[in-house]
Structure 1
């Protein structure tokens, strides 16, 4: 080869080598512009903020923070700002059980009473898988306690889950027959971790998952008022102004994990690197559950598992107080992102973020089309001949809670001393809905055709029986 030809080859290779970083840089700049546009509402110095990070093949390609972590002191969001993951936490306890199952220390088919023997026998076997797949038939803790005397933001302790189940007298449905999202189940899963390992849940998770992955800013809030360094304050906008929305619970398993987008990139990278766990661990984590009739739930151990147009995705959203989060990962492409914010009041950017990061593989525009449904028109309440048939006081022995049904200027009102008043709207056949809250009442008649009680459905808690005693 002549010297001229050699120089030409070297020059060509050198130009290609130099061009590649510039091409990558241009791609990153275009990505930043796209994400800046999506998160424009968060990118101010006068509102709550957010942080986002994107991982490709185990490498952090993009991470950026926007807006304020604390309005009172003007503290900006950073990529190492700590925020509550909400239900994105559920995949971590799923991963913990996958590790323990792989080690032979537990079986996902175990009866939960094997590990928590103080729980009552409700007439059917509830397995660990039932808890993970939201198919147990147990009461949902939030919706149930909101029927007693608590409001959103009130304290819920970890021990409340077992106490709630201990007073449940029958299942909402047979295990595996229905899917109803439920945080009680995941609180019990945290208790099972403690029973199996002999360690406190937050300590075991830190020692076996967070620290080995280098997630040194990730912690589990296990006591009320716990101080967490660099944590963002959560806000909601009410009457045009931002106000704080407190996270007072010590709920573990279903939530309670505080982390940063920097730490979460390490978690996402582990999906492909298997620094902690093995390929089998992730197979256990992401195997979808099924109902008894064979219907797939598209849900593994605390993480959504979906196939769309031949592309598999793992995902979960999170909500706690004013905190919101979203994680999406494509295992075959080894690409994913994490989004975290300290307010829900600036919008829900998950779909547009997914399109910006992963739209070349995963088309989310179909979701947008599917979401454009006609607005439902509320049905008018039916006339009621004799509303006095339903008035009286009603008690739930299970919850030790009572309500009054009273007639006020021709309108039936469900009243609770601490929770307020709920105008009732007749739907026929002794059934009522409410004009100012979700839920419904179905009144029950005795053998003499007299009203003897009602059954209260409140979101994810259904079939709570109240009997009439006045």
Structure 2
């Protein structure tokens, strides 16, 4: 296992920005216009103070104690990183990416983010809204005409209030799908054909569902005239310097991607759901996710009014501290404290991305060997602020 005690990191990142065209475009010009405007690069204004060495030293020991408690004898199979103001306080990697080749996991090993992918999918959707190419309350079937549910909006997909059925369930029915490799478009086509019942009336309540983000990936494709994989690369990954991040393509990456394992080290084999993207299938590293997190502190990342809509809860049907914003989970306490995060779980991959906005702290844990341990890293929050984490249990599902 490679262990890095202290690595100062100054994140210099840029993000795609867009300028409005002054003339009205003909239909045949739309494809070129969208690609051109989305890809204009502009430096982000991020002014975060350098963390004093005394602060680093004071937090290092506590984080190290936590790490050795959660992953005793260094049994982490993945990566773990804690940063303040974009500066790494603690970082460590360990385990095997591929047990057949004995490839070890290091800081450049891209691991499956599982549902943490939703955070990045949402970021591109929100950028398109910021670009005026899409509207938050726009009906989904105004973009995807085949989509058979009239009352569902982009916002309902983002905050999981659509009521859509889970594609993993209806596609597991042999009369519906033959278990050949499923594509996002297949999910839409099946819903258009069968018009499956919604789980509940749109916007009635929260219902976490991967279908929402599989549909958002198709929305991204329709609006940008690019494949989702290319759109994510051009709009987020390349501008932010996320050079080790990519969207999995089964035919292209099945022999080279890091693999995932059960707790007893048995390989999780790919199945017919492993080519769906938007809800999962982004592979990345803790360092690349840190670059993304730092981008969110820039006023140029998103319009401030839109940012406010992202980091707020939309589901208060049940009492409690947990809620969901636009592509991000949150805990909000009566004290006024808020913690933002997203967890993930797919096959043997488990992941956690925690961002403490008030304290500019980033906590990331990725594992390719099944374990609930990455979900526990949010317990580090009280080390940086007044977060009453003892009053909140960990989320054991993504």
TM range (shorter): 0.7 to 0.9
8 A contact 1:141–1:164 mirrored in 2: no
Rounded to whole Å, the distance in 2 between the matches of 1:261 and 1:292 is 34
Aligned residue number for residue 69 of structure 2: 37
8 A contact 2:341–2:352 mirrored in 1: yes
SS at match of 2:165: coil
Confirm or deny that 1:355 pairs with 2:382: no
Work out which of the residue numbers 234, 242, 245 in structure 2 matches 1:218.
245
How many equivalent residue pairs?
338
Per-residue CA deviation, residues 97-147 of structure 1 (Å, 9 max, x unaligned), is 221112211111111110011223x4x411111112222222210122223
Per-residue CA deviation, residues 417-456 of structure 1 (Å, 9 max, x unaligned), is xxxxxxxxxxxxxxxxxxxxxxxxxxxxxxxxxxxxxxxx
Work out which of the residue numbers 129, 138, 141 in structure 1 matches 2:164.
138
Shift of 1:210: 0.8
Rounded to whole Å, the distance in 1 between the matches of 2:229 and 2:204 is 32
Aligned residue number for residue 108 of structure 1: 136
Root-mean-square deviation over aligned CA pairs = 3.0
8 A contact 1:55–1:268 mirrored in 2: no
Show the 5 A alignment for 1:151-190: 155-166=181-192, 167-190=194-217
Rounded to whole Å, the distance in 1 between the matches of 2:255 and 2:304 is 34
Aligned residue number for residue 60 of structure 2: 28
Confirm or deny that 1:125 pairs with 2:151: yes
* Structure 1: segments with no counterpart, 5+ residues: 1-19, 372-470
* Structure 2: segments with no counterpart, 5+ residues: 1-51
SS at match of 2:208: coil
Shift of 1:250: 1.3
8 A contact 1:95–1:281 mirrored in 2: no
SS at match of 2:373: coil
Aligned residue number for residue 206 of structure 1: 233
SS at match of 2:199: coil
Q: Which of 1 and 2 has higher RCO (CA within 8 Å, sep 6+)?
A: 2
Rounded to whole Å, the distance in 1 between the matches of 2:54 and 2:326 is 41
Rounded to whole Å, the distance in 1 between the matches of 2:388 and 2:297 is 22
Rounded to whole Å, the distance in 1 between the matches of 2:131 and 2:238 is 19
SS at match of 2:351: strand
Show the 5 A alignment for 1:414-433: none
Shift of 1:165: 1.2
Shift of 1:58: 2.2
Moved more, 272-281 or 173-182: 272-281
SS at match of 1:105: coil
Shift of 1:349: 4.1
Aligned residue number for residue 376 of structure 1: none
Rounded to whole Å, the distance in 1 between the matches of 2:277 and 2:254 is 16
Confirm or deny that 1:84 pairs with 2:107: no
List 4+ stretches of structure 1 deviating above 6 A: 291-297
SS at match of 2:392: helix
Show the 5 A alignment for 1:218-257: 218-221=245-248, 223-227=249-253, 231-237=257-263, 241-248=264-271, 249-257=274-282
Rounded to whole Å, the distance in 2 between the matches of 1:52 and 1:342 is 12
SS at match of 2:324: coil
Aligned residue number for residue 444 of structure 1: none
Rounded to whole Å, the distance in 2 between the matches of 1:233 and 1:150 is 29
Larger-Rg structure: 1
With normalisation by structure 2, the TM-score equals 0.76
Shift of 1:212: 0.9
8 A contact 2:78–2:111 mirrored in 1: no
Rounded to whole Å, the distance in 1 between the matches of 2:164 and 2:70 is 39
Rounded to whole Å, the distance in 2 between the matches of 1:107 and 1:212 is 23
1:63–1:274 Cα change, 3 Å: farther
1:276–1:170 Cα change, 3 Å: same
Confirm or deny that 1:303 pairs with 2:342: no
Work out which of the residue numbers 51, 54, 57 in structure 1 matches 2:82.
54
Rounded to whole Å, the distance in 2 between the matches of 1:79 and 1:104 is 36
1:75–1:29 Cα change, 3 Å: farther
Confirm or deny that 1:263 pairs with 2:293: no
Rounded to whole Å, the distance in 2 between the matches of 1:274 and 1:154 is 44
Show the 5 A alignment for 1:59-78: 59-78=87-106
1:357–1:295 Cα change, 3 Å: closer
1:250–1:110 Cα change, 3 Å: same
Per-residue CA deviation, residues 273-314 of structure 1 (Å, 9 max, x unaligned), is 456435345324323324799999821122112212321111
SS at match of 1:332: helix
